[in-house]
Amino acid sequence: MKKIKKTGKSDKKPKKELFQSPRGMADILPVQQPWWDKLIGIGQELAGLYDFGRIETPILEFAGIFEKSLGEATEVLEKQMFIVKTKGGDRLAMRPETTASVMRAYFQHHLSYGQQPFKVYSFGPMFRYEHPQAGRFRQFHQFNFDIIGDTDPLYDAQIILLFWRFLQLLKIPGLTPQVNTVGCRVCRQHYLRRLKEYYGKLKNKICKDCQRRLEINPLRLFDCKEEQCLPLKAAAPNMLDNLCQACNSHFRAVLEHLEENKFPYEPNPFLVRGLDYYSRTFFEIFGGSEKTAIAAGGRYDYLSEMIGPRLVPAVGGALGMERVIEIIKSESLFIFKAPVKIYFITIGEQAKKCGLRVMEELRHAGVKIAESLGKDSLKAQLGAADKMKAKLVLIFGQKEVFEETIIIRDMASGAQENIALSRVVEEVKKRLR
Ligand SMILES: [Zn+2]
Ligand SMILES: [Zn+2]
C-alpha cells in the first residue's frame, strides 16, 4: 500500500473567499432605497410639470459615439471607458454619460419630425474607470434633462432653473449656482490663442502641472489650486471678454432670463468644461456643507454634428445622484416613516399550510404583511415582530386552524383577542385606522 504523504496542512476546510462587488461599484440596499425613490420621485414630478418625456437608452453604445463626441478629451476618456468587444467584433462601450446616446436616438428615430423642441429626461447608471476615491464611483447614477432642437437662450435658462428647482425640492443646503459661457467655435479658438499667448510668456512661473496643461488643454489651467498659479489665473484673459457678438448677446439674454426669475447665480468667468461639444452657456451647481458639485450642464450645439448628419442645437444637464443622496442623508433632510406592518405568526405545520392562504387574502385586500415562516417557536417570531416594530401580530396555531379563528395581538398594549377567521381582513383594517 502506498503511503500517503503528509502535507502538513491542517484538515480544516480552506477558507472560502467571499465575492465582493467590483471596485467603485456599490450595492443599493433596501434600507437605502427610500432616498433614491425620493430623488427619482421629485425628478419625475418636475419632468411632468416642465413637459419632459422619459427616454431610456441602452447601457451599451458603439464606442465610436463617445469617442467622436468627446473630441480632444478622447484620450482621457479612452482610458476611462469600459469597453466590451462582442463575439461579432463590435466595440461597445458602457455609457460614460447619456448626452451622446440621447442625441443618437434623436437622429435614429427621426424625432425632429415630432414636436420641437424635443424635451426628455432619463436616469440610470453611468460607467467610468475612475480611481475610486471618496465620492467617485466607477458605476454612478445621473438624472438628466435635455432639450433638443432650439437655440433660444430661454431654454438655457429653463434648464438651469429646472435643476435649481430640483435641488431646492431636495432641500439641499448651501446651493451655489455658477454660470459662464464657453463661446462658439470661432470666439473660443480666438480666446484659446490669447490664453496660450498669455501663459506662454509665464511658462517659468507656473507649476509643473500647469506647464503640461498648457500643452494639452489650456482651459484646464483654471483648475490649478497651487499658490504660485492663483494670481496669474486672476489676471488671465477670460472667455467673457473675448466673446463674439452673437455669443455675447446670447449669453446676455440667458442672464436676463435668470435675473427676471430672481435666480441667484454667481458669474464665474473661470468655470470651464474641456469637452469640445459644449457651446455657449455652461453652469454648475454646488451644494452641501462641502460645497461639492452636484449638477452641471449647458448648451451642446456641436454634439449633433459630431455624431449625426447635421447641426441640431441642444441644451441639458445632469445631476449626480450619489452625491445628492449623500448630502440629504448626512443632513437628515428627510425622515421616512416605517410602513405599518402586520406580522403573521404560525405555530405548527398545519397552521403554516393554512396560514399562507390567510396571508394571501390579507395581501389581496391591500394589507402589508411580514412573516418569517422558517422560525418555529412563538417566542422567536414574536421577537422578530417586535424588532421590526410591528403594530399588530396575528397568531395562527393548531387550535385556531381547527376552530377557524385567529388571535390578534396589539403589540403596544399586549392585548389579545380571538376573532373569527372570516372577519380577519375587516378587523385588521379597523385597527390600522
Ligand atoms: Zn462666438
Ligand atoms: Zn498650476
Output the CA torsion 104→110→114→117 (10° steps).
30
Task: Report how far ligand 2's centroid is from the alpha carbon of 229 (Å).
Answer: 5
Task: Report how far ligand 2's centroid is from the alpha carbon of 210 (Å).
Answer: 4
The answer on pLDDT for 379 being more than 50 is yes
What is the Cα 431 distance to its own chain's centre? 40
Per-residue pLDDT, averaged over 226-234, amounts to 88
Nearest-10 crossing angle of helices 321-330, 33-49: 120
Per-residue pLDDT, averaged over 339-345, amounts to 87
pLDDT at 11: 60
Question: Residue 237 is placed in which grid cell?
Answer: 484673459
| pLDDT confidence bin for 10, thresholds 50/70/90 | low
Question: Residue 341 is placed in which grid cell?
Answer: 406592518
- For 59-78, the pLDDT digits (tens) are 999 999 988 887 655 555 66
pLDDT at 246: 96
Task: Report how far ligand 1's centroid is from the alpha carbon of 180 (Å).
Answer: 13
Task: Report how far ligand 2's centroid is from the alpha carbon of 171 (Å).
Answer: 36
pLDDT: is 95 or 219 the higher one? 95
Nearest to 100 by CA among 261, 306, 357, 289: 306
Nearest to 400 by CA among 354, 337, 335, 344: 354
221 in Cβ contact with 210 (< 8 Å): yes
Nearest ligand to the CA atom of 246: 1
Per-residue pLDDT, averaged over 364-393, amounts to 90
Spatial separation of the C-alpha atoms in residues 58 and 127, rounded to whole Å: 13
Q: What is the pTM of this model?
A: 0.88
Nearest ligand to the CA atom of 218: 2
Instruction: Examine residue 117 and say whether the peptide bond preceding it is cis (omega within 30 degrees of 0).
Output: yes
Residue type, 322: E
Spatial separation of the C-alpha atoms in residues 95 and 69, rounded to whole Å: 12
CATH topology of domain 342-432: Rossmann fold (3.40.50)
The answer on pLDDT for 398 being more than 50 is yes
| DSSP letter assigned to residue 277 | T
- For 125-181, the pLDDT digits (tens) are 999 887 766 667 899 999 999 999 999 999 999 999 999 999 999 999 999 999 999
Nearest ligand to the CA atom of 228: 2
Nearest ligand to the CA atom of 226: 2
Give 30-181+261-330's CATH code, choosing from 3.30.70.120, 3.40.50.620, 3.40.1350.10, 3.30.930.10. Answer: 3.30.930.10
What is the Cα 304 distance to its own chain's centre? 24
Q: In percent, how much of the chain has pLDDT > 90? A: 69
- For 242-278, the pLDDT digits (tens) are 999 999 999 999 999 999 999 999 888 888 776 778 8
| DSSP letter assigned to residue 309 | S
The answer on pLDDT for 218 being more than 70 is yes
Task: Report how far ligand 1's centroid is from the alpha carbon of 119 (Å).
Answer: 25
Nearest to 282 by CA among 234, 307, 318: 318
358 in Cβ contact with 420 (< 8 Å): no
Residues 6 or more apart from 27 whose CB is under 8 A from it?
Answer: 21
Task: Report how far ligand 2's centroid is from the alpha carbon of 154 (Å).
Answer: 37
Question: Residue 14 is placed in which grid cell?
Answer: 480552506
Task: Report how far ligand 1's centroid is from the alpha carbon of 49 (Å).
Answer: 33
∠ CA 129-139-301, rounded to 5°: 80
Spatial separation of the C-alpha atoms in residues 60 and 42, rounded to whole Å: 27
Q: For residue 340, how many other CB atoms are within 10 A of its CB?
A: 12
pLDDT at 258: 95
**Judging by DSSP bridges, how do beta strands 281-287 and 292-299 pair with one another?**
antiparallel
Task: Report how far ligand 1's centroid is from the alpha carbon of 268 (Å).
Answer: 18
Spatial separation of the C-alpha atoms in residues 336 and 330, rounded to whole Å: 14
- For 301-340, the pLDDT digits (tens) are 999 999 999 999 999 999 999 999 999 998 878 888 777 7
| pLDDT confidence bin for 1, thresholds 50/70/90 | very low
How does the average pLDDT of the chain come out, rounded? 90
Most confident of 4-8, 274-278, 409-413: 409-413
Q: In percent, how much of the chain has pLDDT > 70? A: 94
Question: Residue 95 is placed in which grid cell?
Answer: 455609457
326 in Cβ contact with 390 (< 8 Å): no
pLDDT at 303: 93
Task: Report how far ligand 1's centroid is from the alpha carbon of 184 (Å).
Answer: 4
Task: Report how far ligand 2's centroid is from the alpha carbon of 204 (Å).
Answer: 11
The answer on pLDDT for 185 being more than 60 is yes
Spatial separation of the C-alpha atoms in residues 228 and 4, rounded to whole Å: 72
Spatial separation of the C-alpha atoms in residues 409 and 400, rounded to whole Å: 14
Task: Report, in angstroms and rounded to the nearest whole number, the Rg of the chain calculated over CA atoms.
Answer: 30
In which region does residue 222 sit, left (phi positive, over 0), alpha (psi from -120 to 50) or beta (all else)? alpha
Nearest ligand to the CA atom of 214: 2
> Residue 62: enclosing H or E segment and its boundaries?
strand 60-62
| DSSP letter assigned to residue 27 | -
pLDDT at 136: 76
The answer on pLDDT for 91 being more than 90 is yes
Spatial separation of the C-alpha atoms in residues 174 and 158, rounded to whole Å: 21
Nearest to 179 by CA among 289, 94, 255: 255
Spatial separation of the C-alpha atoms in residues 232 and 241, rounded to whole Å: 17
Nearest ligand to the CA atom of 183: 1
pLDDT at 297: 95
To the nearest 5 percent, what fractions of the chain are helix, strand and coil? 40, 20, 40
What are the residue ranges spanned by the domains of the chain?
A: 30-181+261-330, 185-243, 342-432
